[in-house]
């Protein structure tokens, strides 16, 4: 049976649990750094290459500080994420705001930080100018429509809410040029969690062709192209990770043909990966609370969809390790569940595992992105802590668990006595 490894032994995780009760997320710093360096090295041929980590995947300043040290920027989609970038000490073109249906306050916060603003709609040009003023650098998001297939998470591009059409984006560059904008970027992203490496090469080809068309029709030379994110990770043990070196070589070949060959170089290439950077190196650690046997067999955990929404929301697969029982026969079938009053609160359905019992430690893999970040407080459940496994083996808390006091912090109970019903 295909398996996945974990970066700690049974004895080590038991010691961690003595100090930090389950459930919690724990991230492997060494693996994250090594992954970041590999990604940068794959694209070192492009002068000015930069990865803007999509902080929505794992919005923790400690992780962002690590990635900034590795040379990454930050991709934000809200005012709170911009504030997180500010608190990490980031400013200027280290930050990109890629948002949609954007309020003026977010545009203003981005402009104050000197961030690159990535517009999602042609109407936002006038809105930005009226409410905030146009910066010297502007990026715009392209939606290729039926030129490109999407996938389950984002949907078909022509039905997605994101981006300019081809005609709109060319007109947008004309408008911005006439209004005095000096530096231009282009961006696209039409899939999420994609494992086909050719998908990203095809995306670059579409974008590079559009860059040539923009130059011809709008007289605008694009300075940077953000190829977006969407690089998936092998959630299932038998799946293969995206070959970044293969992707890079394919994009480099297109760059020479369509960018350098048409006199459009230099063109800086950016990405905004989130999942592919931290996803495989985060783990949700929980304990088995109950074993229930009715029409099916259920293993109930002290974690729930509050801690990891993806299986319940998308039917997504996350591998599960029962710590200390890795080599035992996986001959028992379980639905692995949480305690929410929702029947889709399940981490796995009909999953073959070794026989489990209350008190067993369970590690849910690939929870380093869109795990803690997508948490919520339904049923009054509280979000758990985040821990960091440092390179020297030390474990530190980088976000404490929520408390009952946190949950009620926005309510004014003192007004109840004067409230009439």
Binding site for pyridoxal 5'-phosphate, by residue number, is 230, 272-275
Phi, psi of 153 (to 5 degrees): -70, -45
For residue 116, the tally of other CB atoms under 10 A from its CB is 26
Q: Is the CB of residue 307 less than 8 Å from the CB of residue 384?
A: yes
Q: What letters, b where the CB count within 10 A reaches 16 and e where it falls short, cover 220-259?
A: bebbbbbbbbbbbbbbeeeeeebebeebbebbbebbeebb
Measured distance CA(106)–CA(89) in Å, rounded:
18
**Phi, psi at 355, each rounded to 5°:** -60, 125
Cα–Cα distance, 399 to 386 (Å, whole number): 5
Annotated binding-site members: 230, 272-275, 310, 314, 342
- Tell me how far apart the alpha carbons of residues 243 and 218 are, in angstroms, rounded to a whole number: 36
Q: Is 341 one of the annotated active-site residues of the chain?
A: yes
Q: How far apart are CA 116 and CA 108, in angstroms?
A: 12
Which of 285, 279, 280 is CA-nearest to residue 13? 285
Q: Quick one: tokens of 408? A: 């009620």
- 86, burial (CB in 10 Å: exposed 0-12, middle 13-18, buried 19+): middle
| CA 310 vs CA 32, 289, 306, 315: distances in Å | 21, 21, 10, 7
Binding-site entries for substrate: 275, 310, 314, 342
Q: State the Cα–Cα distance between residues 126 and 385, nearest whole angstrom.
A: 43
Active-site entry in 18, 294, 327, 341: 341
Nearest of 147, 159, 226, 241 to residue 194 by alpha carbon = 241
CA separation for the pair 209, 202 (Å, rounded): 11
User: What CA–CA distance (Å, rounded) separates 225 from 203?
Assistant: 11
Q: Which residues contact 13 (CB under 8 A, 6 or more apart)?
A: 6, 285, 323, 361, 363
Catalytic residue positions, numbered: 341
């Amino acid at each position: 049976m295909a398996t996945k490894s974990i970066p700690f032994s049974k004895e080590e995780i038991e010691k961690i649990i003595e100090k930090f009760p389950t459930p919690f997320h724990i991230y492997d710093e060494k693996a994250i750094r090594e992954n970041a360096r590999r990604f940068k090295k794959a694209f070192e041929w492009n002068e000015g290459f930069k990865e803007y980590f999509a902080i929505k995947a794992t919005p923790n300043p400690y992780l962002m500080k690590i990635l900034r040290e590795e040379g990454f920027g930050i991709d934000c989609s809200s005012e709170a994420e911009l504030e997180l970038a500010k608190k990490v000490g980031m400013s200027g073109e280290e930050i990109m705001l890629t948002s949609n249906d954007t309020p003026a306050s977010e545009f203003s916060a981005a402009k104050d930080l000197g961030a690159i603003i990535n517009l999602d709609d042609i109407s936002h040009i006038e809105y930005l100018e009226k409410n905030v003023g146009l910066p010297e650098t502007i990026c715009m998001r392209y939606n290729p429509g039926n030129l490109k297939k999407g996938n389950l998470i984002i949907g078909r591009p022509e039905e997605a809410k994101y981006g300019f059409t081809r005609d709109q984006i060319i007109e947008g560059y004309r408008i911005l040029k006439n209004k005095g904008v000096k530096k231009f970027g282009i961006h696209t992203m039409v899939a999420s969690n994609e494992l086909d490496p050719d998908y990203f090469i095809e995306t670059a080809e579409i974008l590079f062709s559009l860059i040539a068309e923009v130059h011809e029709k709008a007289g605008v030379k694009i300075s940077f192209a953000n190829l977006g994110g969407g690089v998936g990770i092998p959630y299932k043990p038998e799946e293969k990770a995206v070959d970044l070196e293969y992707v890079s070589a394919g994009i480099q070949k297109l760059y020479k043909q369509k960018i350098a060959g048409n006199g459009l170089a230099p063109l800086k290439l950016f990405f905004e990966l989130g999942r592919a950077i931290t996803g495989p190196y985060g783990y949700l650690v929980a304990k088995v609370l109950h074993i229930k046997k009715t029409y099916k067999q259920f293993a109930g955990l002290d974690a729930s969809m509050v801690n990891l929404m993806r299986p319940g929301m998308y039917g997504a697969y996350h591998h599960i390790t029962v710590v200390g029982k890795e080599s035992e026969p996986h001959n028992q079938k379980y639905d692995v569940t949480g305690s929410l009053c929702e029947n889709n609160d399940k981490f796995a359905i009909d999953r073959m595992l070794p026989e489990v019992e209350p008190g067993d430690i369970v590690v849910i893999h690939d929870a380093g992105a869109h795990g803690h970040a997508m948490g919520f407080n339904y049923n009054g459940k509280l979000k758990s802590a985040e821990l960091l496994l440092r390179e020297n083996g030390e474990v530190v808390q980088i976000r404490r668990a929520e408390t009952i006091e946190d949950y009620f912090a926005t309510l004014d109970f003192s007004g109840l006595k004067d409230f009439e019903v």
